[in-house]
Amino acid sequence: MRFSTISGAVGVLGVTLGLVAWTPADSSDLEQGTASQVAQTSDSAAARTPLILAKGEGERRIRRVMGGALAIIKVDRRNGGSPGLVMGYEEIPPGQAIQAHRHPAMDEIIFVHGGIGAAELGDRTATVGPGATIYIPQATRVMLRNTGTDPLAIAYFFPQPGYEEYLRDTSVREGQPASVVSGLELAQIRERHKAHILFDPQ
């Protein structure tokens, strides 16, 4: 008798948990298969959402430094809801460079998608082109310059958030006016984000 009572209670609990597990949070959960929702981004933190993004999709931004470079935040806390991983894509215009800097608290990986450039990593300098991978241990100095005639297209990856907020503060949404950031404003932005990125003096 006691065994059947316990079994019955477990069965009810299992059914209840099953209903909770299979009940969608809202009706949008049923529509995630549409292409527009798969590629959707937002300005607020979100639950983890699977994403399939084409080359040009994501949070498209125009840098107010580096000659108005295109920057796309692909995955972070706002895009896909990842609590840790950050991935982005940038196109460095010819003659422009990512100024020498360090990430004091995290590693970074850069994958070169297109174009030709020069990478300075620690005390080493090398030419990089399509297919090149650059691993940057935390606190290691890095600089990347476009030395070709086409944009230097790169994808970057971080294991924790931080850099993407610096990028947002030095850019605007594509389609908005992108005035060049002043020296004073840039210094203030960099001071706010120094826990994540430190630049060499120019």
Q: Which of these ranges, 13-27, 60-74, 128-142, has the smallest mean pLDDT?
A: 13-27
Residue ranges of domains in the chain? 35-199
* pLDDT recorded at residue 13: 38
Calculated CA dihedral for residues 170, 171, 172, 178, nearest 10 degrees? 100
The pLDDT of 71-98, averaged and rounded, is 97
The CATH homologous superfamily of the domain defined by 35-199: Jelly Rolls (2.60.120.10)
| Alpha-carbon distance values, 161 to 79, 98, 132, 152 (Å) | 12, 19, 24, 24
pTM above 0.85, yes or no: no
* pLDDT recorded at residue 19: 33
For residue 137, pLDDT beyond 60: yes
Please list the residues that pair with 92 across neighbouring strands. 152
Q: Which of these ranges, 23-37, 45-59, 60-74, 125-139, has the smallest mean pLDDT?
A: 23-37
Q: Would you give the DSSP letter of residue 72?
A: E
* pLDDT recorded at residue 2: 46
* pLDDT recorded at residue 46: 56
* pLDDT recorded at residue 180: 93
